[in-house]
Structure 1
Amino acid sequence: MKFMKLGSRPDTFYTSEAVRSVSSEVSSDLTVQVKGSRYLLHKFPLLSKCLRLQRLCSESLENSQQHQIVQLPDFPGGVEAFELCAKFCYGITITLSAYNIVSTRCAAEYLQMTEDVEKGNLIYKIEIFFNSCILSGWKDSIVTLQTTKAFSSWSEELGITSRCIEAIASKVLAHPSKVNLSHSYSRRGRDDVSCNGGESQRHSKALSKGWWAEELAELGIDLYWRTIIAIKSGGKIPSNLVGDALRVYASKWLPNISKDPTAKNQVESDPGSDLIRELTSKHRLLLESIISLLPAERGSVSCSFLLKLLKAVNIVNASSSSKMELARRIGLQLEEAKVSDLLIPSMRTDRLYDVDMVMTILEQFMLQGQSPPTSPPRAKDGFEKRRRSRSAENVEFGFQESRRSSSSSHSSKLKVGKIVDGYLQEIAQDVNLPLSKFTALAEAIPEFARLDHDDLYRAIDIYLKAHPDLNKSERKRLCRALDCKKLSMEACMHAAQNELLPLRVVVQVLFFEQAKAAMSGGQVTEIPSEHQGYFGCN
């Protein structure tokens, strides 16, 4: 971390009866009140460097009096920043660093400590330190950027925020071998280096490609969003590294929200409480911002991470556009999903899981087979390309993906078929799951995407046991997607004795079982006793 010392005199400020004063043989002729604190100071050192104090004293109704009182109720940075500025006026040694440079710079701007008043004034010295030392340091730039939040309007107007973001982005975009550790990443202890004199160069060790992700995760979401946008606009960082950085950020600021069972219970139990409302609003903003930053390229983030975001989005009831964006992205990578990741809690029904959302994801997966547009929109120049809207980015991305594959590969559909059948087995246990939801999902998988129907049969059997009140017509409907020809011998043996199945299905099972046995040269008379318990038969 960099620091700079200004002034050479010892600190002579002291406190007496809640009033700050300066030890001097000359009596105080100026009282400055800053947010409830009183300072007994002297006009000459302060007015010679602070144009605002000059004007306030000249406009004071008590100008004829020797001792004047000036009030600064809206002083940026508070008493700490004011005292640093006052000490600078007295020539007392002050130390500037990334932790106080923003507040001091805002305070100096407020007091108008410019070159018009005196050459080598505080604003000039701070700007030199800021541009030459702070912005050249990685950690210094991040700490400084973090402190701008307390003075957001001042920092924006003075260009502090934008300069910090540009400096951070430039370091991320630089090759790791060109990043000097004396100006950057330092995890252990303090790395204090004075900017008053020469500095020794340190040996830089190699940095990994994603070395910056954890450090940037310290930023609040508004500053983080702007920084990632600046990094993405540079066009040099691979999309998977940006995706990994977003995963690191989400892990830090949204810990366990997608898998914490108490999160749903808290929202449902007291959704109107101020604490829950504030927490939900904060998480919603975080999630929607992270989703808006996701790289357009397929595979830049894992399907598991996308599904965790979707679970969290469901819990905090984020915007429908955020849900659809995640559903679209997950659909592009659905073959990578795990059944457990698809178990998205249902927040607005008495059902256990949000089956509608999984159906939407599956529909997005199937849409990959549609014909692509004739050509993507093209930017007229580099500037327009960098400034293009997110929707345009997604359209071009969709075109590129369609060019890569006009339809989902056969193997991908086979994988998704297995995943969906596993998911059906999980949701079938929900006593509140309507038959229509179950069958719609079961029938959404193309026939060729199931090499066998054993998993589908298991799901149907589980649903029948969890819903014993189904009538004959509903049981037939439930088994509509089941192809008895694709059942294994073990599954056929179980189905033949399953009293919950419609009689027509049992007859089909027995027929195909005998056909298979005949083709293999055997015969079927009865289910061997050693197989009767294979699927829970009695």
Structure 2
Amino acid sequence: MAVCCDLEVDVNGEETFLVDKKIVCSYSGRLTKLFGESTNAKRNKVVFHDFPGGAENFELMSRFCYNKGKIDVNPSNILFLYSAAQFMEMNNSVSGTCNLLEKTKKSFEEISYWTWPDLLVALKHCQDLQPIATSSGLLEKCLDSLVGRLAISSEASPCASTSSPDSSGFRLSCDSRSTESLKNSFSRANWWFEDLLVLSPDLIGTLIELMVSRKHNHVMISRFLFHYQKSKFYTASSDEKCKVLEIVIDMLYTLDPISISCKSLFGILRVVLSLKISKSCRSKLESMIGSQMDQATLDNLLIPSPCGSTYLYDVNLVLRFLKAFRHGGGWQLSPMRMKKVASLIDLYIAEVAPDPCLKSSKFLALLVALPDSARDSWDELYHAMDIYLEVHAGLSEDEKMKICCALNYEKLSTEACIHLSQNAKFPSKNSPCTFNDIQAKAKKDEATKQVVLYSGRLDISADNEMLRAHLQRMQWRVVELEKVCKKMQTQMAKIMKSKVSSRSAARPLPRLCS
């Protein structure tokens, strides 16, 4: 049969094809509607602005037409052929001989026989034609098959290197004869990490959502996400980095917190600080870090302040971490975790206290960020407060008072109490925070030590009434000192209440950092 070129087709402005109108129309319902039964010898021209897959895919579709409806449909071209058949309405409403649309749809059902690299190639093409891949169901089928194979990766694994997705020998098999050999060829649980780097962030997000719904190992998922982020950053632009980070953070947020490495989260945070990601993603990252504050180190928290700030370290960020930790159940559920975080924050406060630009409101917010029960001793905080007051000698009496009154002197050692009672940097003795009670506490602690000393060293036998009476008098003295301390505490509370109410009537107190 003679072939003429009486139809000119401009495909997306990329390339112009000269084809036989009769041959192509016999398979394309779209062109048949356009030209009908016209036998006009004049050359016609058609311009397609949105042909899926571009010129290369039009050429592939043309081969199908010129080969009398015969073509090998495989994972590398199935989506292109399907999209072309759908666009050109190749449902054989005219020729009635071969339906390309139906042929590609039937090939979708053979996906369970595809190799692992076949799946990766198909998925990569799904990224290029995502709307069609989604509507056709191919994307869902590919992801479903891929996740299913990952689920059995502990029992079966690729028998060829994963470095080349196009390796034809790279297959997954579940038959009993090959399982053992597959196990021998696969030694790492993360064999699939490198393979999935070809997928876009959006597709990775869809894949991870499916893996989570199928109860995949959260530890392995989190490790993959950190690997994906690091690998993608080598060649990505700033905008691409932001996209990758947002997807990775969103997916990590769906995982069990204990499955995520705190160290890796801080690694992502360091990157986030230099990029502009969405506020919601940043909040999610801070929430995840806050929930694991007991796993953090001092070096993790010493994050430089934002550009343009005068203070050295980002205290506001640490306060948000602590807020996230409290809301995560740390207050009630785990006293041990609370104490661990308190020890870390004490170190942090001591580190930031010498900063001359750190505002008293921020310093105070750090002091009161954790409940009193989190600390057995306030000695470290007292030393940090002493340093802060020394560096910030220009603070007003009111500012000093607020810092002073945050101190729980009941949990100070005797030595710290004695030092505090003589510390000129703290508010004067005629202020509401007088330290007569501190001196009394020091005496009480000393008396208690003597009681312990006597009870530990003296052999109190039944006939030694003199020693028994002496020890009893010592214990009475301790009781009396305790009464005096309580009375002084009550008086001090009343004085402070009256002072604060009078000051608040004059002017409002500054708003503290939450």
TM-score scaled by length of structure 2: 0.68
Computing the radius of gyration from Cα coordinates, the structure with the larger value is 2
Unaligned runs of 5+ in 2: 172-176, 454-514
Residue 480 (structure 2) aligns with: none
SS state of the match for residue 129, structure 2? Answer: helix
Tell me what 2:146 maps to. Answer: 168
Map of 1:250 onto structure 2: 229
- Distance in 2 of aligned mates of 1:122 and 1:76: 15
Aligned residues: 434
State, as a whole percentage, how many aligned pairs show the same letter: 29
Q: Which of 32, 39, 43 matches 2:9?
A: 32
- Which of 1 and 2 has higher RCO (CA within 8 Å, sep 6+)? 1
Structure 1, unaligned runs of 5 or more = 1-23, 258-274, 371-405, 522-538
Other-structure match for 2:213: 233
Aligned to 1:365: 325
Q: Deviations over 1:203-231 (max 9, x none)?
A: 42346444444433442222222111112
Which secondary structure state, in structure 2, belongs to the residue aligned with residue 177 of structure 1? coil
For 2:71 and 2:222, locate their aligned partners in 1 and report how far apart those are by CA, in whole Å. 42
Cα 1:73–1:446 shift into 2, 3 Å: closer
Q: Any idea what SS the aligned residue of 2:202 has?
A: helix
Is the 8 Å Cα contact of residues 377 and 412 (structure 2) preserved in structure 1?
Answer: yes
Of residues 377, 385, 388 in structure 2, which corresponds to 1:463? 388
**TM-score using structure 1 length:** 0.65
CA contact (8 A) 1:496 1:509 kept: yes
Cα distance change on mapping 1:288 and 1:158 into 2, 3 Å:
closer
Aligned partner (choices 51, 66, 70) of residue 29 of structure 2: 51
Q: Partners of 1:190 and 1:138 in 2: how far apart?
A: 9
C-alpha distance in structure 2 between counterparts of 1:194 and 1:240, whole Å:
26
1:302 aligns with 2:280: no
- SS of the aligned residue for 1:176 comes to coil
Deviates more, 1:284-293 or 1:489-498: 489-498
Q: Residue 64 of structure 1: which of 17, 20, 40 is its match?
A: 40
Q: Residues 315, 429 of structure 1: CA spacing in aligned structure 2 closer, same or farther, 3 A cutoff?
A: farther
Q: What secondary structure sits across from 1:155 in the alignment?
A: helix
C-alpha contact 1:77 1:103 (8 A) present in aligned 2? yes
Alignment-mate amino acid for residue 147 of structure 2: A
Equivalent residue runs for 1:420-499 within 5 Å: 420-482=345-407
Query: 2 CA distance for matches of 1:219 and 1:112?
Result: 30
Quick one: which amino acid aligns to residue 172 of structure 1? L
Structure (1 or 2) with the greater helix fraction: 2
Could you tell me which residue of structure 2 aligns to residue 418 of structure 1?
Answer: 343
Note closer, same or farther for the CA distance 1:74–1:447 as it changes in structure 2 (3 Å cut): closer
Residues 498 and 335 (structure 1 numbering): CA distance in 2 closer, same or farther, change over 3 Å? same
Deviation at 1:141, TM superposition (A): 2.0
- 1:132 paired with 2:110, answer yes
Check the 8 A contact 2:165/2:195 in 1, yes or no: no
Please report how far the alpha carbon of residue 98 of structure 1 lies from its aligned counterpart in structure 2 after TM superposition.
4.8
Matched, 1:337 2:296: yes
Give the Å deviation of 1:420.
Answer: 0.8
**Structure 1 residue 442, shift from structure 2 partner:** 1.1
- Structure 1 residues 255, 189: CA separation in 2 closer, same or farther (over 3 Å shift)? closer
Partner of 1:41: 19
Deviation at 1:518, TM superposition (A): 11
* Residue identity opposite 1:73 in structure 2: H
The letter for the 1-side match of 2:18 is L
> Structure 1 counterpart of 2:392, which letter?
H
Q: In the alignment, is the contact (CA less than 8 A) between 1:429 and 1:466 conserved in 2?
A: yes
List aligned pairs for 1:56-455, cutoff 5 A: 56-58=34-36, 63-65=39-41, 67-91=43-67, 98-114=75-91, 117=95, 119-127=97-105, 129-132=107-110, 136-181=114-159, 186-188=162-164, 190-192=166-168, 203-204=181-182, 205-206=185-186, 208-235=188-215, 237-253=216-232, 283=242, 286-287=245-246, 290-291=249-250, 294-309=253-268, 321-344=280-303, 346-347=305-306, 350=309, 351-367=311-327, 407-455=332-380
What is the RMSD of the two structures over their aligned residues, measured on CA atoms? 4.6
Does 327-336 or 73-82 show the bigger shift?
327-336
Which residue type is aligned with residue 168 of structure 1?
L
